[in-house]
Amino acid sequence: MQELPDCLYEGKQPALITPSSPTPSHILYLSNLDDHHFLRFSIKYLYLFQKSLCSLTLKDSLSRVLVDYYPFAGRIKVSDDKTKLEVDCNGKGAVFAEAFMDITCQEFLEISRKPNKSWRKLLFKVQAPGFLDIPPLVIQVTHLRCGGMIICTAINHCLCDGIGTSQFLHAWAHANTTNVPLPIQPFHSRRMLKPRDPPHVTHSHPGFTRTTVDKNSTTFDVCKYLQSQPIVPTTLTFTPSLILRLKKTCAPSLECTTFEVLAAHTWCSWARSLDLPLTMQVKLLFSVNVRKKLTPELPHGYYGNGFVLACAESKVQDLVSGNIYHAVKLIQDAKVRITDEYVRSTIDLLEDKTVKTDVSSSLVISQWGRLGLEELDFGGGKPMYMGSLTSDIYCLFLPEAGNCDAIRVQVSLPEDVLRRLECYMVQFLDEKGKIEAKTFA
């Protein structure tokens, strides 16, 4: 795999961008949906733009937008009682680095037909003792030889979800092109998602487990198996026509969404590619937006994690039959279970700090489509490419720049497993369709 050239930094890098006017100074409470261990990482985006913009202008607009999004200028810390994370809204600033890379937009696209480890060069590495010591917002703008630019962002997941990241990035782009007030004002308080007193867990939550380890357990841990080996990425693109053909493979016919059918197909292909025991129970975990499922609904612009993980479960033998009907139904049933009471029960469950997300036998799918991420425009046009800076064993459904109805399925697996996955993912197609799916591996 060809590597990108190194970034060239000039002067003192990086800079800290502080809010352009005074902001509230207080400790921001994080809900149990924000601070549980599964979200203690940064969401890292990569954007390629054909036209470079002045970094001074981008810094100025970022400074102005941080007035409304002031927690990003703060620092995450452990609460005094050591039980939770919280944000010290102290206005210290977001990290902003500027660099040059001797490459053109087209060369980048050619080298990077699939996720590339050398992409990490495009985001300034903050030297810090641990994750919590890294500022919650890190940005690098890299200017290219052709006059294009790449913007990479690392946004702490404890502060917001995918909807929130899109809301912030569009707010920054809005501030870069106009002085008109933001169309959506962020609502930072998470108090409406506090646990009940006492906590009252009323539902079963198969997507979670406790951290106590059973040393006598003989259950195969898929996650540990995958992480113990070198992994390589792949990306498969599903156009609307391919999605329609996939829906037609469901027998008996079933009305379903694009996400439901593609998630079912990916889950079944994943189970087949791993060659798991037929009687083994496996799970699919996927995020469900709960902003409008709660009573009362979360306020417009709610700026925190407003999702829970839905969980579908099945024996492997029911997923590898070649018919995705069973998996689609399980996904639909899992979505229906997400009610106001289910969310409240989840929040109460997470008061128990021994509870963690169960990834031992799970495929986790994160949906980045339908968030408007590919529509971002800082004034020089929409991106030529948009995606994740890194690739992992967790599966991403990504938007396709220039084709908002297409979905790119991205995942990293051991090479032998990956080859089988690619085969199963396009097995329902004829040769013409397999070419259309753009298997870049």
Q: Which residues are catalytic?
A: 157, 377
Q: Which residues pair with 291 in a beta bridge?
A: none
258 Cβ neighbours under 8 A, 6+ residues apart: 243, 407
Angle formed at CA 192 by CA 188 and CA 195, multiple of 5 degrees: 125
What residue spans of 118-257 are helical by DSSP H? 162-177, 222-227, 240-247
Angle formed at CA 320 by CA 319 and CA 325, multiple of 5 degrees: 50
Nearest to 387 by CA among 159, 47, 93: 47
Helix (H, G, I), strand (E, B) or coil at 354: coil
Pairing of strands 137-144, 94-101: parallel
Task: Please give the distance of CA 208 from its chain centroid, rounded to a whole number.
Answer: 19
* Type of residue numbered 331: I
Pairing of strands 232-238, 403-413: antiparallel
What's phi and psi for 418, nearest 5 deg? -65, -40
| Cis amide bond preceding 252, omega within 30 | yes
- Under DSSP, the state recorded for 36 is S
The structure tokens 């027998």 sit at 251
Q: Can you read off the two tokens belonging to residue 132?
A: 């919590």
Q: What does the alpha-carbon distance between residue 66 and residue 53 come to, in Å, rounded to a whole number?
A: 19
Pairing of strands 362-367, 281-289: parallel
Task: Please give the distance of CA 311 from its chain centroid, rounded to a whole number.
Answer: 17
| Cis amide bond preceding 277, omega within 30 | no
Q: What does the alpha-carbon distance between residue 305 and residue 6 come to, in Å, rounded to a whole number?
A: 35
Q: Which residues pair with 156 in a beta bridge?
A: 42
Beta carbons of 362 and 222 less than 8 angstroms apart = yes
Task: Please give the distance of CA 417 from its chain centroid, rounded to a whole number.
Answer: 23
